[in-house]
Amino acid sequence: MSEDIVLRAEHISVEYAGRRPTRAVRDVTIELRRGEVLGIAGESGCGKSTLAYALARMLKPPAYLTGGSITFFPAGGAPVDVLALDGEGLRRFRWNKIAMVFQSAMNALNPVTSLAQQFTDIFAAHRPDLDAATRQRRARELLDMVGIDPARIGSFPHELSGGMRQRVMIAMALALQPEVIIMDEPTTALDVVVQREILDEIERLREELGFSVIFITHDLSLLLEISDRLAVMYAAEVIERAPAELVGQTPAHPYTLGLLRSFPDMRSARRELRGIPGNPPDLRSDFPGCPFEPRCEFRFEVCPTAHPALGPPAGRTVAVPPAPPGGADWQVACHLHDPQYRPGGPPAGLNGVPAADVVRTETQVGAERSGGDT
């Protein structure tokens, strides 16, 4: 089992220090398998970026890791306790083994030096044995690999379009051939056409180079499409973990259902669209019960008082096994799936039978409606 896992983080908790500390990540466990794309979905402020920074050991005060363990399993090497690394060991680990692509390429690139210089910096720091000519050649190869004309190597970041900058970020992340790349909203600032190009590029490179990806975004519909497995975060916790291909049709957690409904399908029949009422909670508070309870349309007696733990969802025994790799570990943190409280299983919409307004189907048009919107 463990040989196909490349990164395992267990019971990670992160706090931002303050008068009332913000507990941004609470007891989160995730596993990344070799060669897969693990999607982490959630709204702004749910702790997904903080988790990413924690995994790459990039938290800066006032953020502190308050608990958990992170183990990295290099291909054909001994497991590495990531949290025990420090100084030179940590420096060698980051970028070499786990690289990161940030959301804002303009802020992540140095505006006052050329791309050539920025690539050279990477190699100077991490591959000091390479001579100048090799560094240049390698930098050009990397640009070419992400679809940028190597002649642009003398350009400055402001001379590139947003999409090109994001490509450069990806090229830099790939520079040292890491086994894991964490992508934190890499396409959020781009428009759809460019976003599509970047995603295609990532997929192609992954096929070629075989790295694993943790892909973080609030765009659940995008994540369903590109990831193998999915973790949905709400209020600093993972509330559902599921195979991406199935969860789009049969979400188990009411929040996942709500999030899916929040992305109307472009081509489906017109219907009343609903978001999720209310607002995400303040992460400085403690939640004795389910943190989603105040916004949940399915809440019942136990929800405000008992904190749900991750467990297998009800009603998916038929849908899941025989599972493709990654399929069997569907987990949800919701009392609706607890036979102790709900012997009859969860209500329609969450019970593993596709709900009418979540299932996405091709529709015929024309007859539907024409003219005025109501």
The residues that touch another protein, with contacts defined as CB under 8 A, are 43-45, 147, 149, 162, 191-197, 200, 203-204, 218-222, 224-225, 245, 248, 258-259, 261-267, 270, 273-277, 279-280, 360-363, 365-366, 368-374
Query: Considering the complex, what minimum distance in angstroms separates the CB of residue 125 from another protein?
Result: 30
Nearer to another protein, 117 or 268 (CB): 268
Q: Identify any residues that bridge with 38 across adjacent strands, giving them in sequence order.
A: 214, 229
Q: What are phi and psi of 2, to 5 degrees?
A: -75, -15
Six-digit token string for 357: 């307004």
Query: Considering the complex, what minimum distance in angstroms separates the CB of residue 295 from another protein?
Result: 8
Distance CA 132, CA 120 (A): 8
Six-digit token string for 250: 């049969």
Query: Considering the complex, what minimum distance in angstroms separates the CB of residue 200 from another protein?
Result: 5
Nearer to another protein, 12 or 257 (CB): 257
User: Side by side, which strands form the sheet with 80-81?
Assistant: 22-33, 5-16, 63-72, 80-81
CA angle 137, 142, 144 (to 5 degrees): 95
Nearer to another protein, 154 or 277 (CB): 277
Contacts of residue 37, defined as CB under 8 A and 6 or more positions apart, other chains included, come to: 206, 212, 213, 214, 215, 226, 227, 228
Nearer to another protein, 236 or 259 (CB): 259
Nearer to another protein, 141 or 149 (CB): 149
Query: Considering the complex, what minimum distance in angstroms separates the CB of residue 346 from another protein?
Result: 20
Query: Considering the complex, what minimum distance in angstroms separates the CB of residue 282 from another protein?
Result: 10
Six-digit token string for 9: 């983080």
